[in-house]
A and B are shown apart, each in its own frame.
Chain A
Amino acid sequence: MTAAVDAPRVASRKAAGASAGKGPGPRSDAWARRLPLLPALIFLIVLTQLPFIVTLITSFMNWNAYYPEERGFAGLDNFTRVLTDVATRNAILTTIVLTATVVLVSLALGLGIALLLDRQFRGRGIVRTMMIAPFLVVPVAASLLWKHALYNPEYGLFNGLLTAVWGLFGSNDPPQVDWISSMPLIAIEASLIWQWTPFMMLILLAGLQSRPLDVIEAAKLDGASSWQVFRYMTFPHLRQYLELAGLLGAIYVVQNFDAVFTITSGGLGTSNLPFTIYQTFYNAHDYGRASAAGVVVVIGTIIIATFALRTVSTLFKEESK
């Protein structure tokens, strides 16, 4: 990070030094440079940083909209309540399980599919386009599609296919699964994996295609096997792309609300933190506690985000070399 910061600083110091001799001097030059940046910066601080500061303050307050007269300082009460409450603790656990499962499975699938798409075959462009499509379905629409058209125990496609396949073998007694009730979290995860695999695949495919092909060809001519090429050349090159895809995916999936809200409405033990916060705030109007839960999510995200930012800055440094 520091290296990346220092380089432009030296450059701009030189530029400033050059203009220092004549006219208005470096100060006005610096402001001329800053000016185009300010609107975006101010807009963003007002709309994202200020609300968060208010959330932070509220998280230490006793504030329920149903009991406005009891508003006051609560110390760490909200945090104690959030962290000792069984429902919230389960929500934290659900969030971790959901995020880890979705990210890891779609990363693995995305890697396999990216490797397949990196080869030359007939209709590769069409397959690539087909693969991207799930990511481009509006998330709510995708959740509705999975809930009603695929999972529905009476007429959903999954049970319909079971009936059709069993029917082929002359059986009138096909297994019929109530997918959402019997495996609620897996049901949500499957729909999210379907949507996020294309995302992982796209980033990993771009990574694969940025490999130095001449080096790999040389290795192949020297008799390296496909596995050796993958293990010692492709994989190390792909590592940072895997990290980037995984971390960006994690940041989006941790915040997932649409799928939990649509498929199970947070029931059957699938309520994750964003949904719990929504509920605490929207139904229970417990502002203090919702804020404390929000702060917990932020702390969790900061941990992931620190790694994400580090990965992005590594890629960033390499690119600007």
Chain B
Amino acid sequence: MSTITDVAPVPATRTRGGEPRQKRRERAGALLGVLAWVIGLLFIAPILWMLLTSLHTEQDAATNPPSIAAPLSLQGYREFFGTDPWPSLLNSMTASILSTVLVLALAIPAAYALSIRPVKKWTDVLFFFLSTRMLPAVAGLLPIYLFAQYVGLLDNIFLLVLLYTSMNLPIAVWMMRSFLVEVPGEILEAASMDGAGLVRTLKSVVMPIVSPGIAATALICFIFSWNELLFARVLTSTAAQTAPVFLTGFVTSQGLFLAKVCAAAVVVSLPVLIAGFAAQDKLVQGLSLGAVK
């Protein structure tokens, strides 16, 4: 992905027309570049506005017309952390990290059995995994709620760990498979010719090649778990409340709250923004389930 991005496309000026034509093309190209910048800025503007508002006092945040140059203040953040968001942030961290670890533990062997040493009908299995992701989660909500109630797992973060694992497993299997098929068969053969056992081959041949892929898969699973609202909202109340649920219960307060809400949105989005930018190059491959490289 990254290599392709960095390669310059054919320069517009390659055709050796007359000077004026080349100049006209250059100007058109520059204009399109400016247009791209304008659109990019429009898309990020709401986020910059969120950041700026979070750094204003409540009074300055709620003016019309907006007071862009108002003095910066950490009042919003102080108030947000004053409402004790730590338990919910911690719950989100627990659910996201544990489910990501579990997903990888299940997905990597499965992807191995679908690529390097494939089972019979491996494409059918692969598409079965994918089809489970396409079932709307909301359709399974009721039985899961009743089951959780029955076994006493309501408001328990480990239930969310299991559910997020099942939500992300298909994506992870597809992603990991697309990374594992890139391991050249000759290398594996050479390793076994040299007498390397399975564990040794996996550790010193396969792992170094696919570890960037594992990292990207982990980051994408982390993002999806961190973002999830519906299950968290229905299946948790106080003890296992996650950060998105905490956010939804945040706005009922009276009076001015805009800076506080923006501060909360910034804090909750920060881990995802970091994970997303870290996985930027593999993001497409993950989101398209490995179909696009």
A-side residues, CB < 8 A to B, are 1, 4-5, 8-9, 11-12, 30, 32-37, 39-41, 43-44, 47-52, 54-55, 58, 113, 116-142, 144-146, 148-150, 152, 154-155, 157, 159-161, 163-164, 167, 194, 197-199, 202-203, 205-207, 209-210, 213, 216-217, 220-221, 241, 244-245, 248, 251, 254-255, 257-258, 261-262, 273-274, 277-278, 281-282, 287, 290-291, 294-295, 297-298, 301-302, 304-305, 308-309, 312-313, 315-316, 319-320
Contacts and interface: CB of A to CB of B under 8 A. Distances in A.
Interface SS, A side = helix
B139 A136 contact: no
A1 B128 CA distance: 13
Given A9-B121, A202-B287, A294-B138, A122 B65 contact: no
Contact of A244 (B118, B264, B292): B292
Contact of B142 (A123, A157, A290): A290
Size class of the B contact interface (CB-based, 8 Å): 35 or more
Interface string B169-200: 11001000000010000000000000000000
B273 interface: yes
Contact of A140 (B106, B162, B229): B229
A30 B136 contact: no
Contacts of B266: 141
Nearest to A274: B138
Contacts of B5: 125, 128, 209
B137 A255 contact: yes
B103 to A, nearest CB: 9
B62 A154 contact: yes
A118 B33 CA distance: 10
A164 B66 contact: yes
Interface stretch (B34-42, B77-85, B203-211): B34-42
A166 B139 CA distance: 49
A44 B141 CA distance: 15
22 contacts: A11-B118, A37-B114, A40-B173, A44-B169, A48-B135, A49-B132, A50-B143, A121-B29, A129-B277, A137-B47, A138-B244, A138-B272, A140-B229, A149-B49, A149-B53, A203-B284, A220-B14, A244-B292, A255-B136, A278-B234, A294-B140, A309-B134
Interface in B125-181: 125, 127, 129-132, 134-147, 162-163, 165-166, 169-170, 173, 181
Contact of A5 (B46, B64, B124, B251): B124
Contacts of B243: 138
Contacts of A152: 258
Nearest to B267: A141
